Amino acid sequence: MSDTDTTPKPIQASLFDEAPAGQHAPSSSGSSVARVKVEQTDLELDYLIPTDLEDRVKPGTRVYVPLQNQKVAAVVIDLPKASSTKFKLKPIAQVIGRDASFTPALLKLAAWVADYYLCSQHQVLRTMLPQAVRQKPESFIKDSRLTLHKPISPADLEKLRGKAPMQARVIDLLSDRGGTATLSELRKQHPHASRFLAPLLKKEYIVRAEVRVERDPHADEEFLPTTPLKFTEEQETCYKAVVKAIDSPESAKPMLLYGVTGSGKTEVFLQAIAHTLEQGKTALVLVPEISLTPQTIERFKARFSEKRDRIAVLHSHLSEGERHDEWFKVHERRADIVIGARSAIFAPLENLGIIIVDEEHEPSYKQDETPRYQARDVAVVRAKLEGCAVLLATATPSLESYQNARTGKYDLLRMTRRTDGKRMPLIRIVDLRLRRKKGGESPDTRILSEQLRTAILDRLAKNEQIILFLNRRGYNTSLSCPSCSETIKCQDCDIPMTLHRADDRLICHICGARRLVPRKCPKCSDPGIAFAGYGTERAEEVLKKAFPTARIARVDTDVMQKKNQLRDTLREFRSQKLDMLIGTQMIAKGLDFPNVTLVGVLNADQALNLPDIRAAERTFQLLTQVAGRAGRGEVMGEVIVQTFSPHTPAIQFSRQADFEGYADQECEQRQAFSYPPFSHMLIIMSRSKQANLAEFTLQTLNSRLRQDLPEGTIMGEPSPCALSKAHGQYRFQLIMRAASIRPLARHVRKVLKELTIPPDVIVTCDVDPMQMM
């Protein structure tokens, strides 16, 4: 089977009764026709629009249609003048929701995503709607709003207190709330309030109306209003360029805002959005990680305090009900600003004025399951379809965006200095090899060098704060036998299992499998089996032992599992109730804490040696971003980077915060081998529980693809993936590169359509992949 779209399009048949010879649908009754895309499949069929539904059915409307004795959901994608099918058309059974779920621009975007990323349109349309909206459309929570109606004199109220004190309490509570409140609000102070409403309603002392309850994820939070800050000269120049694009989008190019950490990019966003709202338009802001969202929302709701109820938030950490209500806030045009992670690019905002992609270099903008879209690139396409400005912003541009700027496809905006004259942090490199050569290395000193330990003590003495970065969860990262070299790996994945001391279990970070910790080697029975490597759990233990009076918090997905736990931890750190954070990439970027003067990178080498063309690029970006958390206040910051590879270009260029120098040397190497950004890459993967079947399928596909291969395509050979087994399936991949992806994608789609793939094999296509594991 394949998750790539190989179904003939359009089918344009209802699969039902055939019309009389020579007669085309629709019938002589003159009923209108709707062309729909059936959800769960890529069938494209024609149906009649019943007269009573004609005003409600339009492109983008979700409907129920009869199909093979079932009623299935579908999306109307067109209203043709007539159907060319020879079959007698069946009528649409029911309209889902009050209005169309997809705007015309989103329908065009879905078609583009399906074509470019080699998937089916129904998969894209499905992705565009949150699961809660697909499964339970318009499932709002209802409540009763109670309002004081008929005046009651003080004397009558006193009589009521004597006869029916609970009824009088209801009136008192409503009076205290300005004369109106919902029943659920009253119940917080008067749990049995609903029992005493009937007499009050009968006497018309109060009136009752049904209202919708918004499940607002930030309803209980308070945001102190902020005012626009004065721009620096560089900020002013960039702001004017963005405003020009907002006002004249038809002549504007996509913009890449390359600004060093702390240069004030967010302030440019805020004031550009304020200008957008003044023009009566809307704004969409994408952030790469959920860790950025609490602070981003706080900044936006504080700046736009008079419009805080018209800011919607869309990300995966909301409850199903919250996602449902936030999506409908956008859909019903009750939101002017949408903030969210990757999937928010499909928010049904209309009249868009600007799309902002913050930290545009982040790999988390790439979806790792079908449809495998890159939200940054989809943002550029959506901006073109919507006729709005698009701004990509970062301190470490992706080489793809930077190359687009260098070739003139994008406008490059630069901000090279921090605001208020703040200096960039001083970055020191600690060569961990020296301690090993001197024989003074211990497990604790590998985690915490003497230079870093001394720097932490100095900051703690000055009541300054510290952030320590380690992009590896768990306690120990592997368990192996010194006698036979056996490493305990996951049975379903080709990676070592990680010890999590809190659970006393070995855990696979790919599939989540858990097993007890063996006390001896399972292969040779040697009891000397030993742990190696370290993660954030082990680092936290070492830090608490080294600095027993320091207030330390760990930030990773193992501990940040409760709702709002991350938000609350970051707020405690901002209010200086914590001295130190130790965490993964959740704390590496976008956060702004003025009292942080020291950042430590415990192991800069983790991503460097991965078999991926972007390994060095990611290392440079991550080090530069995490270093940017230091020195954002009045005191100059310091960054200490611990590494066994101090002379690697990624580390040396990050030490100088020299992105352009790094980009020049990296692009020179990429161009020599025709790697992105000087080509487009397409990875075809086959996976199966049977290794030989997965390999044979890919070899067959490889031989078919080589026939009539588009000119200029560079094609490798089928080979095992770097992660050769995951989730119990063996994985093989075929890497292809071409200057233009469209001819290659059409060729791959054609071959997959003609090839019969065994049912036990899954074939996937990843266009412009962000990782090669």
| pLDDT tens-place string over residues 587-596 | 876 677 889 9
Q: Which residues of 329-345 are buried (b: 16+ CB within 10 A; e: fewer)?
A: bbbeeebbbbbbbbbbb
> Could you tell me if 495 and 723 are in contact, meaning their C-beta atoms sit under 8 angstroms apart?
yes
The predicted model gives 260-285 an average pLDDT of 95
**Model confidence pLDDT, tens digit, residues 154-195:** 888 888 888 888 888 888 888 888 888 888 888 888 887 888
Q: From residue 324, how far is each of 130, 140, 141, 316, 318 by CA, in Å?
A: 7, 8, 11, 11, 9
Which SS3 state, helix, strand or coil, does residue 209 take?
strand
Q: Report the distance separating Cα 251 and Cα 257, nearest Å.
A: 18
Q: Report the distance separating Cα 335 and Cα 322, nearest Å.
A: 15
Q: Report the distance separating Cα 276 and Cα 299, nearest Å.
A: 17
How sure is the predictor about 597, in pLDDT bands with cuts at 50, 70 and 90? very high
* The 3-state secondary structure of 252-278, one letter per residue: CCCEEEEECCCCCHHHHHHHHHHHHHH
The predicted model gives 344-373 an average pLDDT of 95
Q: Report the distance separating Cα 588 and Cα 584, nearest Å.
A: 7
Q: From residue 196, how far is each of 191, 193, 200, 492 by CA, in Å?
A: 11, 6, 7, 61
- What is the share, in percent, of the chain residues with pLDDT greater than 70? 93
CB neighbours (10 Å) of residue 595?
19
Q: Report the distance separating Cα 702 and Cα 763, nearest Å.
A: 12
How sure is the predictor about 140, in pLDDT bands with cuts at 50, 70 and 90? confident
Q: Which of 429, 443, 449 is nearest to 475 (CA)?
A: 443
Residue 62 bridge partners (DSSP): 75, 96
Q: Report the distance separating Cα 582 and Cα 587, nearest Å.
A: 8
Least confident of 21-25, 37-41, 79-83, 474-478: 21-25
Q: Report the distance separating Cα 673 and Cα 660, nearest Å.
A: 20
H/E element, 499: strand 498-500
Query: CA torsion 686→687→688→692, rounded to 10°?
Result: 60
Q: From residue 260, how far is each of 427, 430, 665 by CA, in Å?
A: 15, 24, 20
Q: Above 80 in pLDDT, residue 143?
A: no
- What is the share, in percent, of the chain residues with pLDDT greater than 90? 59
CB neighbours (10 Å) of residue 304?
22
And the tokens for 575? 């209010």
CA atoms within 13 Å, Cβ hemisphere of 265: 28
The predicted model gives 47-60 an average pLDDT of 92
Q: Report the distance separating Cα 700 and Cα 42, nearest Å.
A: 25
Q: Which of 385, 426, 344 is nearest to 631 (CA)?
A: 426
CA atoms within 13 Å, Cβ hemisphere of 304: 27
DSSP line for 431-497: EHHHHHHHT---HHHHHS-HHHHHHHHHHHHTT-EEEEE----SSBSEEE-TTT--B-B-SSSSSB-
Least confident of 211-215, 262-266, 730-734: 211-215
pLDDT, residue 262, reads 86
Angle of helix 233-247 relative to helix 265-278, nearest 10 degrees, comes to 30
Q: Above 80 in pLDDT, residue 761?
A: yes
The predicted model gives 70-90 an average pLDDT of 88
Q: Report the distance separating Cα 495 and Cα 726, nearest Å.
A: 9
Least confident of 21-35, 313-327, 559-573, 759-773: 21-35
> Could you tell me if 238 and 268 are in contact, meaning their C-beta atoms sit under 8 angstroms apart?
yes
Which SS3 state, helix, strand or coil, does residue 249 take?
helix
How sure is the predictor about 229, in pLDDT bands with cuts at 50, 70 and 90? very high
> Could you tell me if 39 and 98 are in contact, meaning their C-beta atoms sit under 8 angstroms apart?
no
pLDDT, residue 443, reads 62
Q: Which of 155, 176, 178, 158 is nearest to 167 (CA)?
A: 158
> Could you tell me if 316 and 343 are in contact, meaning their C-beta atoms sit under 8 angstroms apart?
yes
The phi, psi pair for 400, rounded to 5°, reads -65, -50
Strands 352-358 and 389-394: parallel
User: Which segments of 547-690 does DSSP mark as H helices, in order?
Assistant: 565-574, 615-627, 649-655, 659-672
Residue 469 bridge partners (DSSP): 583, 601
User: Which segments of 560-646 does DSSP mark as H helices, in order?
Assistant: 565-574, 615-627
pLDDT, residue 442, reads 60
Q: Above 50 in pLDDT, residue 16?
A: no
How sure is the predictor about 319, in pLDDT bands with cuts at 50, 70 and 90? confident
Q: Above 80 in pLDDT, residue 512?
A: yes
Q: Which of 35, 44, 36, 34 is nearest to 7 (CA)?
A: 44
> Could you tell me if 107 and 179 are in contact, meaning their C-beta atoms sit under 8 angstroms apart?
no
How sure is the predictor about 680, in pLDDT bands with cuts at 50, 70 and 90? very high
And the tokens for 49? 């629009």
